[in-house]
């Protein structure tokens, strides 16, 4: 693997974590039960999802048994101070990816893939959920342009091509030719920022 591509996606992972971090720091107590663009989740559920996925990263990269990790990640992960839990989770994920050979195979629920592909999936998830949280909190919805471009370019063939589409996200919605890059990305992930 080219070291440049891995370094680029590691950088994007740090950026995506920063985007989500910026929004989570703005959650007031009354927002935790607010509905989000993810129909089945309120703010608590969305943040807990992102925290849980971040805590999974070291376990997946280390090849820990799934049952062991599931037991450790059961219950309400945000009990106590959610900001502290998030801080630990995202730093653990960043550190795990920084020291991992991205050419190595990792086992995910959907099957085996490379560490690089797993990293890309995490970047996409963090980026889109940063927007979800921003929309709910009515704070800045802009996303880093480098993140938008990279996640869009990664997702486009997966979501609109002839191959199987990841079932982790809502189906894409169409975009007009003059749609902004950020909104084209959100449309790919089934979000309507209008």
The dihedral of CA 142, 145, 149, 154: what is its sign?
negative
**Looking at residue 78, what is its pLDDT?**
93
Integer Cα distance of 88 and 130 in angstroms: 18
**Looking at residue 100, what is its pLDDT?**
97
0.85 cut: is pTM over it? yes
Query: Poorest-confidence range of 49-63, 111-125, 155-169?
Result: 155-169
Please check the confidence at residue 49 and state whether its pLDDT lies above 70: yes
**Looking at residue 52, what is its pLDDT?**
95
**Looking at residue 68, what is its pLDDT?**
80
What separation in angstroms does the CA of 41 have from each of 21, 47, 121, 132, 140?
Answer: 18, 9, 20, 10, 20
Residue 46: pLDDT band by 50, 70, 90 thresholds? Answer: very high
Residue 127: pLDDT band by 50, 70, 90 thresholds? Answer: very high
Please check the confidence at residue 1 and state whether its pLDDT lies above 70: no
For 3-167, which CATH class? mainly alpha
Per-residue pLDDT tens digits for 62-75: 998 777 888 888 88
Per-residue pLDDT tens digits for 91-118: 999 999 999 999 999 998 888 999 999 9
**Looking at residue 158, what is its pLDDT?**
83
- Conformation bin of residue 125: beta by default, left when phi > 0, alpha when psi is -120 to 50: alpha
Integer Cα distance of 102 and 113 in angstroms: 10
Give the residue from 3, 122, 73, 160 showing the smallest Cα distance to 113: 122
The whole-angstrom distance between residue 8's C-alpha and the CA centroid of its chain comes to 16
**Looking at residue 159, what is its pLDDT?**
77
SS3 helix, strand, coil % of the chain, rounded to 5? 60, 5, 35
Integer Cα distance of 173 and 162 in angstroms: 16
The DSSP-derived string for 125-155 is HHHHHHHHHHHHHTS-----HHHHHHHHHHH
**Looking at residue 12, what is its pLDDT?**
99
């Amino acid at each position: 693997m080219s070291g440049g591509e891995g370094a680029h996606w590691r950088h994007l992972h740090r950026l995506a974590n920063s985007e989500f971090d910026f929004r989570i720091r703005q959650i007031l107590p009354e927002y935790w039960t607010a509905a989000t663009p993810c129909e089945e989740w309120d703010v608590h559920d969305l943040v807990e999802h992102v925290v849980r996925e971040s805590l999974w990263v070291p376990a997946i990269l280390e090849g820990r048994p799934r049952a062991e990790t599931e037991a450790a990640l059961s219950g309400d992960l945000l009990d106590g101070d959610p900001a502290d839990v998030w801080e630990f989770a995202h730093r653990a994920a960043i550190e795990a990816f920084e020291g991992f050979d991205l050419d190595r195979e990792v086992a995910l629920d959907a099957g085996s893939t490379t560490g690089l592909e797993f990293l890309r999936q995490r970047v996409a998830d963090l980026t889109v959920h940063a927007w979800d949280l921003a929309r709910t909190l009515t704070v800045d919805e802009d996303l880093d342009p480098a993140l938008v471009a990279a996640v869009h370019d990664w997702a486009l063939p997966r979501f609109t091509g002839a191959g199987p589409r990841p079932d982790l996200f809502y189906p894409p919605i169409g975009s007009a030719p003059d749609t902004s890059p950020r909104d084209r990305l959100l449309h790919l992930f089934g979000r309507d920022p209008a």
